[in-house]
Structure 1
């Protein structure tokens, strides 16, 4: 909110160059917020996909959390007026890769000590996991140009 008030002041003073700098900063802040939110849901998505892959089974609660995470990532990534996405498929892949380590630790914790993160990682096909997560996310989203 503070930035909007500053922008209003700069525009009313005719200081367009500083106003444009502030708009760029606000745009970057907004994009960072989108990336952070996507990363949070990516951790939940991966955690349950890891559990599914490690256990070679699924549970309704896992399926629900997977579906909810995918939905939230898609909603957050969708550009409503510009039609497209904030993050490309490659950027989504990077966000998933960045979230993997935390998701793996969370999954190991959920298994109540049966696996360490390192042991669990040995049972997971990392590339398949990331590809499956990306496929779920991109299922209904248009690619950003």
Structure 2
């Protein structure tokens, strides 16, 4: 919110160059927030998929979580006004690959009702 007041002050002062820099910074902050949300939902998605494969079973909770994660990834990735997505297919794949190790570590603690073996 502080940035919006600063932007207003810059515009009222006629400082267009600094205002444009601030707009660019706000745009990057917004995109970073979207990418962090996609990453977090990717971990949840992969965690439940890994548990399904490791235990060779599923639960209603896991299935709901998988479906919700997919919906939230799609929703967060969609650019509402301009159309398109924040991530292209290659970037989305890289995000999923980055999230995989975190999901695997967490799944190793949760699979088989928490029985952990290295």
Q: For each residue in 1:81-104, what CA deviation from the matched residue of structure 2 results, as whole angstroms up to 9, or x when unmatched?
A: 111111111111111111111100
TM-fit CA distance, 1:80: 0.9
Structure 1 window deviating more from structure 2 (9-18 vs 55-64): it is: 55-64
Alignment of 1:69-80 (within 5 A): 69-80=69-80
Report what 1:9 is aligned to.
9
Q: 1:113 aligns with which of 112, 115, 118?
A: 115
The gaps in structure 2 that reach 5 residues or longer are none
The Cα RMSD (Å) is 1.1
What TM-score do you get using the length of structure 2 for normalisation? 0.93
Q: 2: distance between equivalents of 1:94 and 1:115? A: 28
User: 1: CA distance between counterparts of 2:18 and 2:50?
Assistant: 47
* 3-state SS in 2 of match to 1:85: coil
**Residue in structure 1 matched with residue 20 of structure 2 by the alignment:** 20
Q: Runs of at least 4 residues of structure 1 off by over 2 A? A: 113-116
Residue of structure 2 in register with 1:136 after alignment:
none
Give the unaligned 5+ runs of structure 1.
117-145
1:85 counterpart residue number: 85
Q: Give the Cα separation in 2 of the matches to 1:76 and 1:91.
A: 14
Normalising by structure 1, we get a TM-score of 0.76
